[in-house]
């Protein structure tokens, strides 16, 4: 955003951030949060602590100490953010009638060294390969023109979880342990619904679609979903009346089922139009 756009957003942004005042253990320095957030929203080429502080006229060391040392009630921040999102999602801004769609996905960041919590050689989507870095699991929501991330959790690998002295040295609480990503995702869904966020649909990629426990968890929660699965996943198709096949029927690869089963072959193609904000619709 340009400086002019940020100035226009100023009062509304300040009102939004004020709700998190008492999530900060040392409220006297709370104003630094506004400095940091405006820096992240700005058109700065490098959005690290030093250029953000210099642009705002704030001592660099002060902003660094605010981000590094000051304690935040992160769970309370997430709760307040989700309650605010729940209010916005109740508003009738859904021209397509799809309801509120939840998106489970993960982000990654390449890291050097071995001190960052959760860092190890693992699959990094940002690089498209296995490399040294961290992975976080996120829940996003979309309804009409409203889009936002409402939850985030660090994926803690088993090697880290089993080495509690290393975890303590990195500041990882004792109750943060290894959980498969799909279990993290189900926990995020439960948190969101308990805070009043309505989820009419859920979507996800094959990292989650390949986990029977995740899909079963969605069934237990009576959540509708459209998700990806690996083409090699063993599965069967329901018959035309919508009944499940007999338990003794063996599954086939997903790509084979889609290519050969009449339930799929008999379907006619449908044109889907996906509206986008600053680009032509995707068809």
For every one of its 283 residues, what pLDDT tens digit does the chain have, with 9 covering 90 and above? 888 888 888 889 999 999 999 998 888 999 999 999 999 999 999 999 999 999 999 999 999 999 888 888 989 999 999 999 999 888 766 666 778 999 999 999 999 989 999 999 999 989 999 999 999 999 999 988 888 999 999 999 999 999 999 999 998 989 999 999 999 999 999 999 999 999 999 999 999 999 999 999 999 999 999 999 999 999 888 776 767 777 788 888 999 988 888 888 888 888 888 777 788 998 9
Same domain, residue pair 100 and 201: yes
Please state the separation of Cα 188 from the chain's center in Å: 9
- Smallest Cα–Cα separation from 184: which of 148, 157, 206, 224? 157
The answer to whether position 240 is within a domain reads: yes
Same domain, residue pair 115 and 225: yes
Same domain, residue pair 8 and 108: no
Tell me which DSSP letter residue 72 carries: B
- Residue 179 has what pLDDT? 96
Same domain, residue pair 104 and 170: yes
Same domain, residue pair 146 and 198: yes
- Residue 145 has what pLDDT? 80
Tokens of 160: 């880290």
Last residue of a domain, one of 208, 230, 252: 230
The answer to whether position 81 is within a domain reads: no
The answer to whether position 86 is within a domain reads: no
Same domain, residue pair 221 and 270: no
Tokens of 107: 């982000």
- d(C-alpha 194, C-alpha 79), whole Å: 10
Report the 10 Å Cβ neighbour count for 113: 7
Same domain, residue pair 183 and 110: yes
- Residue 197 has what pLDDT? 94
Q: How many domains does the chain have?
A: 3
The answer to whether position 84 is within a domain reads: no
- Residue 9 has what pLDDT? 85
Same domain, residue pair 110 and 167: yes
Which CATH number goes with the domain that contains 146?
3.30.420
CA atoms lying within 13 Å on the CB side of residue 78: 17
Residue count (the chain): 283
The answer to whether position 266 is within a domain reads: yes
Q: Which domain holds residue 266?
A: 233-283
Same domain, residue pair 183 and 100: yes
- Residue 196 has what pLDDT? 95
Same domain, residue pair 200 and 272: no
The answer to whether position 33 is within a domain reads: yes
Same domain, residue pair 163 and 239: no
Query: Is 54 in contact with 60 (CB distance < 8 Å)?
Result: yes
- d(C-alpha 21, C-alpha 13), whole Å: 13
Last residue of a domain, one of 187, 210, 230: 230
The answer to whether position 85 is within a domain reads: no
Same domain, residue pair 100 and 198: yes
- Residue 158 has what pLDDT? 95
């Amino acid at each position: 955003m340009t400086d002019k756009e940020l100035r226009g957003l100023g009062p509304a942004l300040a009102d939004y951030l004020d709700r998190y005042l008492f999530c900060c253990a040392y409220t006297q320095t709370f104003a630094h949060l506004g400095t940091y957030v405006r820096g992240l929203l700005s058109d700065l080429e490098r959005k690290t602590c030093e250029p953000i502080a210099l642009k705002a006229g704030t001592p660099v060391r002060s902003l660094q100490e605010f981000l590094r040392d000051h304690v935040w009630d992160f769970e309370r921040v997430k709760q307040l953010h989700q309650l605010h999102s729940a209010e916005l999602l109740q508003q009738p801004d859904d021209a397509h009638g799809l309801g509120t769609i939840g998106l489970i996905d993960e982000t990654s960041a390449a890291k050097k060294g071995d001190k960052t919590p959760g860092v190890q050689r693992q699959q990094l989507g940002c690089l498209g390969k296995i490399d040294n870095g961290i992975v976080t699991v996120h829940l996003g929501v979309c309804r009409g023109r409203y889009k936002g991330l409402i939850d985030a959790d660090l994926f803690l690998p088993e090697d880290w979880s089993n080495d509690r002295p290393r975890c303590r040295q990195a500041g990882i609480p004792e109750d943060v342990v290894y959980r498969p990503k799909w279990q993290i995702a189900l926990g995020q869904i439960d948190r969101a619904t308990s805070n009043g966020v309505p989820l009419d649909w859920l979507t996800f990629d094959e990292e989650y679609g390949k986990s029977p426990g995740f899909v079963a968890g969605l069934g237990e929660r009576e959540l509708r979903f459209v998700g990806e699965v690996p083409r090699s996943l063993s599965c069967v198709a329901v018959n035309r009346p919508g009944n499940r096949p007999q338990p003794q029927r063996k599954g086939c690869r997903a790509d084979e089922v889609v290519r050969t089963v009449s339930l799929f072959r008999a379907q006619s193609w449908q044109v889907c139009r996906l509206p986008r904000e600053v680009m032509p619709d995707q068809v």
